[in-house]
Amino acid sequence: MSNPHILYSFRRCPYAMRARMGLKISEIGYEHREILLRDKPAELLSISPKATVPVMVLESGEIVDESFDIMLWALKQHDPEQWLAPDMEHMLGLIKTIEGPFAQEQFRYKYASFFDDSLKRGDVNLEHRDNACVFLKDYEEILANSAYLIGDKPSLADYAIFPFIRQFAAVEKDWWDKPQFPHLHKWLAHFMGTDIFTAIMEKHPLFVSNVQEEKPAPN
């Protein structure tokens, strides 16, 4: 029997990671469509013009194309680990920071050559690394006094945030491993070793489009 929902995803994208974790913990079945960001299928472009992942097509036909909205939708169906239980206002503040200002600094840090023609691919921007670290210091302070970002058990905040910090940590692994933030290191290592993260990082074959893109007629 085919799954009623469809998820367009890219394995290494932190936004897609957290959407997949929300679906996994909620035990919601779906058809996984793994794509390449440099070669997006026509189906994805037709349903979500912004063409970013993840994008979920619900059985009803509704399109959900924000990763956090996918998490919330899934958890409202079934939340066995009570990820939504802690203070939502505080939780949303932490999550909006990581996917907004932090993500912007991280992108400019990791892809410095995209913004500066004098740099070569693989170069990093240390100014933006330092700017991102300002936010990480806030998380470090929280984790110095608590095992998790909100309370004494994992919540939506932890699972929605750690994929972004995982991506940041991988940019300059030698620098990150010093370590810069001991409590954040311990927290990140814990979540990267969880069964749910291992499960959602399973590799999938690339989705083969069923739609032939229209090509202009020859002159």
Two tokens, residue 4: 């009623």
Residue 105 lies in a domain: yes
Residue 147 lies in a domain: yes
Residue 126 lies in a domain: yes
Residue 135 lies in a domain: yes
Spatial CA neighbour of 74 closest among 206, 164, 196: 196
Residue 158 lies in a domain: yes
Burial class (CB in 10 A: 0-12, 13-18, 19+), 85: middle
Number of domains composing the chain: 1
Backbone φ and ψ of 22, nearest 5°: -60, -40
On whether the CB atoms of residues 20 and 200 are closer than 8 A, the answer is yes
- Checking phi first, is residue 218 left (phi over 0); if not, alpha (psi -120 to 50) or beta? beta
pLDDT means over runs of 10, the chain (219 residues)? 86 97 97 93 90 94 96 97 86 92 95 89 94 96 95 94 97 91 96 98 91 40
Q: Which residue is it, tokens 């290592």?
A: 189
Q: Which residue is it, tokens 């070669």?
A: 39
Quote the strand ranges of 37-165, DSSP E.
55-57, 63-64
Domain that holds residue 101: 88-194
On whether the CB atoms of residues 135 and 99 are closer than 8 A, the answer is no
pTM: 0.91
Residue 54 lies in a domain: no
What pLDDT was estimated at residue 219?
33
Burial class (CB in 10 A: 0-12, 13-18, 19+), 34: middle
Following DSSP, what letter does each residue of 115-152 receive, concatenated?
H-TTSPTT---HHHHHHHHHHHHHHHHHHTT-SSSSTT
CATH code where residue 152 lies: 1.20.1050.10
The one-letter amino acid code at 107 reads: F
Residue 81 lies in a domain: no
Residue 175 lies in a domain: yes
